[in-house]
DNA sequence: TTTACGGTTTGATATTTGTCAATTGATCAG
DNA sequence: CTGATCAATTGACAAATATCAAACCGTAAA
């Protein structure tokens, strides 16, 4: 692991409050590795051996069933994934692959479980992290069940704008087919819906998003803190796609 | 609280391992109450004041947005709900209402937070519980995104049969409109789909389910441990509807 | 520059799903 | 027993969404 990387990990909400000695223990058995783009990191169903921490690059969490697959979340630096499987010592529910070249730290799950049993501060951090992950997935499920495709797209586009500081224009952080899958629709459907949304205050040209009528878009998206976040206290940052992992 | 109730709570995975003194502290500030059917217990967006423990009866967790609503989970005895909101001291993401007359214990969230900070065993239990809740919602989301309506229904009917011990016949534990909402479709859609499923090995007459051709139904449902559960270690029971709450 | 590749868009079409309205059926209070 | 109520079903229809195929386009390798 590189010298500047340790402080970055230590700065994460998950590792911030634990005793230094325990942090050192965790990191001694951990190792960092750089992976090329489009590489499979995890196959759903495999036993959970390592907590993953993304230092650079982007990782997609996706699920498969019966020959189909769908994107569940995207993890960006500095974020962790598959915490829950590690804790339960259970098989991964999701697969993971790199989208870009990515640098990732692998923390052995067994050490993780040992440390939160003897470091109360770390246990509390894990609790907060898990509660946050749980709430993120509940939000995602709410969006899928309560909103139509157009509404999900509108909400997503508006939320990205807000996360970027309320700007009227920005670029999409992911490919459209991935976005479509994340939002629970086909690429074709997304493409057509985006075109139709020009009448509702947002224009998308390539990966460039331009909000032409914020009021109109907001009216359609009806943003809701209980779906779109963030949690009021804001214990962890909102990634470009709500990083609903663990 | 009644004398026989305390041991039932204590027996829950969440409270089983904590120090007796801390359990006593929690229960001293808690109080039990009996509610009539169809009563709203929690409105989404309200601050999380109490962890709820269902002792008797049934509670529905549901979400609302823009005049629509959908069922997210059903909690049965003995189970807890909205743990995550309590921990984060954040607003509830879901509403809750009784389906039957229900007896519920209310544990102040502030005490909860105080206790898991000083009782490592309890902290570990909370971690396990949250990880389990997280995984349950991920499963639910996977089902929604990867399966069609018919497949979700088939999976549900098959899973219920398995949970009941592999029986060929059983009665639905909830009303069909609730089931429809839980599975992400309209009651009309569920009704028609159920009829069409007679050709796929299951017959539903009123609330009576009869599996007429298990192999056929299994072929359609393609049950998957990573969606339908349970987690291999089986730390907590599978309720009639996967009780994906916290 | 040119080609090759993969993402994206578009068109035509089929399927699924939702909506609205009416009817049936079961349950329960009076 | 009877009416009221609400869940469940059914039919007709509309809307949303998926599928399949082809064309388009931007990027990167040759």
Counting the structural domains of chain A, the total is 2
Pick from A45, A68, A231: CB nearest B226: A45
B135 and A83: CB-CB below 8 Å?
no
* pLDDT exceeds cutoff 50 at A239: no
The predicted-structure confidence for A28-68, as pLDDT tens digits, reads as follows 999 999 999 999 999 999 999 999 999 999 999 999 999 99
Give how far the C-alpha of residue B143 lies from the chain's centroid of Cα atoms, to the nearest Å.
16
Extended beta strands in A99-220, E state: 102-108, 169-171, 202-205, 208-211
Assigned domain for A229 exists? no
State the DSSP code for A168: S
B47 phi and psi angles, rounded to 5 deg: -65, 145
Are B48 and B13 within one domain?
yes
Report the CATH number that the domain containing residue B114 is assigned in CATH: 2.60.120.10
A232 and B84: CB-CB below 8 Å?
no
Are B92 and B105 within one domain?
yes
Helices (H), chain B: 5-10, 13-16, 20-29, 83-88, 109-118, 120-146, 149-163, 176-182, 187-196, 214-221, 225-228
Are the beta carbons of B9 and B18 closer than 8 angstroms? Answer: no
Alpha-carbon distance of B178 to B159, in angstroms, equals 17
Alpha-carbon distance of A235 to A231, in angstroms, equals 8
For residue B136, give the chain A residue with the closest CA. A134
Are A21 and A99 within one domain?
yes
pLDDT > 90: percent of chain A: 92
Are B70 and B94 within one domain?
yes
Alpha-carbon distance of B106 to B94, in angstroms, equals 17
The predicted-structure confidence for A91-143, as pLDDT tens digits, reads as follows 999 999 999 999 999 999 999 999 999 999 999 999 999 999 999 999 999 99
Q: Supply the ipTM of this predicted assembly.
A: 0.94
Domain of residue A105, residue span: 5-142
Alpha-carbon distance of B67 to A180, in angstroms, equals 25
Are A50 and A76 within one domain?
yes
Which residue in B131, B142, B150, B246 has the most chain A C-beta atoms within 10 A of its own C-beta, making it the best mutation to test that interface?
Answer: B131
Structure-block tokens of residue A55:
């230092």
Are B170 and B118 within one domain?
no
Which residue in B42, B109, B138 has the most chain A C-beta atoms within 10 A of its own C-beta, making it the best mutation to test that interface?
Answer: B138
The predicted-structure confidence for A214-238, as pLDDT tens digits, reads as follows 999 999 999 999 999 898 865 433 3
The predicted-structure confidence for A145-186, as pLDDT tens digits, reads as follows 999 999 999 999 999 999 999 999 999 999 999 999 999 999
Q: Of A142, A170, A195, which closes a domain?
A: A142
Are the beta carbons of A88 and B85 closer than 8 angstroms? Answer: no
Tens-binned pLDDT, residue by residue, of chain B (246 aa): 888 999 999 999 999 999 999 999 999 999 999 999 999 999 999 999 999 999 999 999 999 999 999 999 999 999 999 999 999 999 999 999 999 999 999 999 999 999 999 999 999 999 999 999 999 999 999 999 999 999 999 999 999 999 999 999 999 999 999 999 999 999 999 999 999 999 999 999 999 999 999 999 999 999 999 999 898 865 433 344 543 344
Place of tokens 């994460």: A12
Are A85 and A108 within one domain?
yes
Assigned domain for A246 exists? no
Structure-block tokens of residue A164:
């970027």
Helix (H) or strand (E) holding B106: strand B102-108
Please report, rounded to whole angstroms, the spatial distance between the CA atom of protein residue A101 and the C1' atom of nucleotide D30.
23
Are A123 and A172 within one domain?
no
Closest Cα in chain B, distance from residue A75 (Å):
16
Report the CATH number that the domain containing residue A179 is assigned in CATH: 1.10.10.10
Are B119 and B151 within one domain?
no
Give contacts of A116 with chain B, Cβ < 8 Å.
123-124, 127
Please report, rounded to whole angstroms, the spatial distance between the CA atom of protein residue B145 and the C1' atom of nucleotide D17.
13
Are B137 and B157 within one domain?
no
Structure-block tokens of residue B121:
């065993």
Closest nucleotide relative to residue B195's CA, C1' based: D9
């Amino acid at each position: 692991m590189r010298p500047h990387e340790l402080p970055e990990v230590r700065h994460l909400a998950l590792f911030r409050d634990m005793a230094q000695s325990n942090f050192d223990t965790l990191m001694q058995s951990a190792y960092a590795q750089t992976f090329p783009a489009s590489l499979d990191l995890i196959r759903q169903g495999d036993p959970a051996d390592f907590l993953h921490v993304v230092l650079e690059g982007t990782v997609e969490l996706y699920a498969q069933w019966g020959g189909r697959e769908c994107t569940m979340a995207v993890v960006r630096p500095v974020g962790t994934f598959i915490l829950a499987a590690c804790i339960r010592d259970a098989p991964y529910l999701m697969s993971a692959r790199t989208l870009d070249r990515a640098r990732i730290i692998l923390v052995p799950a067994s050490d993780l479980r040992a440390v939160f049993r003897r470091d109360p501060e770390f246990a509390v951090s894990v609790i907060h992290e898990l509660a946050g992950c749980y709430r993120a997935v509940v939000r995602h499920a709410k969006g899928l069940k309560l909103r139509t495709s157009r509404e999900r797209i509108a909400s997503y586009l508006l939320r990205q704008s807000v996360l970027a500081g309320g700007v009227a224009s920005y670029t999409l952080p992911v490919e459209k087919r991935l976005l479509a899958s994340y939002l629970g629709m086909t690429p074709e459907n997304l493409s057509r819906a985006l075109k139709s949304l020009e009448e509702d205050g947002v224009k998308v040209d390539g990966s460039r998003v331009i909000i032409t009528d914020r009021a109109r878009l907001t009216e359609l998206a009806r943003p809701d803190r209980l779906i779109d976040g963030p949690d009021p206290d804001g214990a962890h940052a909102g990634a470009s796609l709500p990083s609903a992992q663990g």
